[in-house]
Amino acid sequence: MKRFLCAGVALLGCLCLLFASPVSAGKAKKQEKEVTIEQVPAKVKATILREAGQNKVTEIEETSVDGKVVYYEAESKIDGKEVEITVAPDGKLLKKQVGDDEDNDDDDAEDGEKGLANQSGKQDQHKEKEVTIEQVPAKVKATILREAGKNKVTEIEEISVDGKVVHYEAEWKIDGKEVEITVAPDGKLLKKQVGDDEDDDDDDAEDDD
């Protein structure tokens, strides 16, 4: 009996490790490594040298996520001002910023993150803003009104990431049940959920995800 019990405990431990592994593996790992101009791909090198002109490139960083290179950042100085160039692995210029001091560079870097978000899988500035039905795009308004029917829309939120609107969320009630829809900026209905209360809505949202 004890032998079976020990075997069961061991099996349970193995299963816990098996199911725990994907969770930790799902977390993106970002890594930055300093490289030379000779170590970057030819197209990246050409873009950096073209943008820097006759100015000396003082530093190049290779940024990767989960082992995959997502972009390169090169620094140079032009007329005493620090210039930072961000280049995709295929040589495409993603961003070029000129700043007098480090604070300005930090502000510009935040603004430029949206150009890199899709490549790194990271979404930085998530913002929710309450708006009226008259403030949303015409196609979004049409979808909301069509789905709500004769019911009064109680709330609309505009969701943006890095300053770019990604979708709208509208709420109303039908027969005492709260209804929430998610609409893309082009008016496409992305999701519709009906719940009795807030807890049910949260469960539905987790299921949809």
The CATH number assigned to the domain holding 196 equals 3.10.450.360
- For residues 130 and 116, membership in a common domain is answered with no
Number of domains in the chain: 2
Categorize the per-residue pLDDT at 62 as very low, low, confident or very high, splitting at 50, 70 and 90.
very high
pTM for the model stands at 0.38
- Domain assignment present for residue 164? The answer is yes
Distance CA 107, CA 99 (A): 10
pLDDT at position 8 is 52
Residues 134 and 112 occupy one common structural domain = no
In 3D space, the residue among 58, 52, 60, 53 whose CA is nearest the CA of residue 36 turns out to be: 60
Please list the residues that pair with 25 across neighbouring strands.
none
Predicted confidence at residue 27, as pLDDT, reads 54
Residues 130 and 72 in one domain: no
d(CA 40, CA 87): 11
Residues 6+ apart with CB under 8 A from 30: 63, 64, 65, 120, 122
Structural domain of 183: 126-208
Please tell me the distance from the alpha carbon of residue 113 to that of residue 160, in angstroms, as a whole number: 14
pLDDT in tens, 72-110: 999 998 888 889 999 989 999 888 888 754 444 444 445
* 37 found inside a domain: yes
Side-chain half-sphere of 135: how many Cα atoms within 13 Å? 11
The pLDDT of residue 98 is: 83
In a domain, 45, yes or no: yes
Measure the CA–CA gap between 16 and 21, rounded to whole angstroms: 9
CB atoms under 10 Å from CB of 117, counted, come to: 16
Q: Is residue 14 within 8 Å of 51, Cβ to Cβ?
A: no
Give domain status of residue 85, yes or no.
Answer: yes
> No. of H helices and E strands in the chain?
6, 10
CA distance 79 to 65: 34
- Residue 133 near residue 111, CB atoms below 8 Å: no
Q: Render pLDDT for 145-187 as a digit per residue (tens, 0 to 9).
A: 999 999 999 999 998 887 888 899 999 998 889 999 999 999 9
3-class SS at 3?
helix
